[in-house]
Amino acid sequence: MALSHVVSTLFRTHRCHPLLVGLPGIGRTHAVQDLARQASSGEIPFLSEHKFRRIDCRYVSPEDSRACLESIFASAVNEPKLVLCLDGIASLLRRSGGGSNRSHLCGLLDRPGLRVIGVMTPWEYADLVAGDAEMLRYFARVDLHEPDEPTAEAIAAEHAAEFAQSHNVAIAPELVRRTVQLTSHFLLNEYHPAKDINVLREACERLAFERLMHHSDRQTLELADIAAVLHERTGIPAETLLGCGDETDFAAALSAAVVGQPNAVETAARELRLIKAGLSAPGKPASVMLFAGLTGVGKTELAKRIAEVYSTSRRLQVYSMGNFTEPHSVSGLIGVPPGYVGHAGTAGSCRLRVGLGVDGRCGGGGNAHADRAIFSVVRLSFRGDRHLREPE
């Protein structure tokens, strides 16, 4: 569906430049490559004579963006039928000192016969394009979404066949399925299908290296190889990944630090057991807990102990809500709103990400401004009651 939207946009004479918006690793560049293949094979008649050129602009600095932008379009002057794919176009739009090349880019797009396909992330689109009427007159947004697990499994299976041939290893279909499942639950800061492909590739390379250096004759990739790669990337023990780790008594571990709060400790331990069992939704926080109680009863100590038990990095990131008493102060977490000084440079730079191995604690939640405080949490009262609250 997304590819057909791109094709129909390229056919138009107005707003004929597609802007592919999606998360890194979901196949944005592959979509452009597939489009070029279809055009060269004659499946898209009006593009059959066009030349496709992909330029990686992701690492262009703001100081060089203007010169790089002009050189790209200068090299395309003598090509009457050209489709330019600017991967990381956001880097070309930013200039040093908070300036922008958006107006200059729009002027370069008026050349007949030229089509530009831009690739950027959703937050880059919100920062640089969504509020610019001139850019919206030239570009049409095309959203690309992360594939579901069955689709990711099919894509990973195609690449697994290539890895098996190039590294001379055997990869069972069941192993590909288990790889997708493991990355869904434990590799949360990357996206399908890139993370599945990268894990399989690294596991194959490790096996090939082992055969070369240690004269091993093993030819079959095993689940333990996948777990070893994930262990190195996440810090989670391989035994936990494979579901054969030692049974952890979370209640005892928490009670050693927090005394006299058996109900709250048991409720927190139950949440940790659910997380360890894998009964949490991929892409969402493993658990969100709100500790309610008087000063000095052990709220902070319990949060620290949970961080030690759950997080492999043993880090606790604290946000003091006393610093967010004014309505505008929430910009310290989510960035400066559009229209304010500093928006282009800082908006979205402080986004809280899921799966970074850091436990966050918001201390003094009652001090946060009511208009900006939204909780959907499991409430852990130090009287022992447990309630669910949904955002109003």
Residues 6+ apart with CB under 8 A from 226: 175, 178, 179, 182, 199, 200, 203
pLDDT in tens, 82-92: 999 999 999 99
Same domain flag for 79 and 138: yes
Number of domains observed in the structure of the chain: 3
- The CATH code of the domain that includes 159 is 1.10.8.60
In the block, tokens 């009262």 appear at 381
Same domain flag for 256 and 236: no
State residue 1's pLDDT score. 66
Domain boundary pick from 114, 143, 172: 143
- Name which of 33-42, 53-62, 118-127, 300-309 the model is least confident about: 300-309
Same domain flag for 235 and 255: no
Residues 144 and 121: their CA atoms lie apart, in Å, by 10
Q: Is the pLDDT of residue 20 over 80?
A: yes
Structure tokens at 306: 């949970």
What is the rounded average pLDDT for all residues in the chain?
Answer: 81
Same domain flag for 129 and 44: yes
Can you give the residue range of the structural domain that contains 295?
250-389
Same domain flag for 24 and 121: yes
Same domain flag for 295 and 351: yes
Q: Which residues pair with 116 in a beta bridge?
A: 84
Q: Is 241 helix (H, G, I), strand (E, B) or coil?
A: helix
Same domain flag for 131 and 201: no
Same domain flag for 223 and 97: no
Domain boundary pick from 242, 272, 290: 242
H/E/C letters for each residue in 334-381? Answer: HCCCCCCCCHHHHCCCCCCCCCCCCEEEEECHHHCCHHHCCCCEEEEE
- The CATH code of the domain that includes 334 is 3.40.50.300
Same domain flag for 326 and 223: no
Return the number of other C-beta atoms located less than 10 Å from residue 335's C-beta.
21
State residue 380's pLDDT score. 46
The answer to whether 119 touches 86, Cβ cutoff 8 Å, is: yes
Domain boundary pick from 189, 215, 242: 242
Percent composition of the chain: helix, strand, coil (DSSP 3-state, to 5):
50, 15, 40
Return the number of other C-beta atoms located less than 10 Å from residue 376's C-beta.
12
Give the residue-averaged pLDDT of 143-157: 93
Residues 278 and 245: their CA atoms lie apart, in Å, by 13
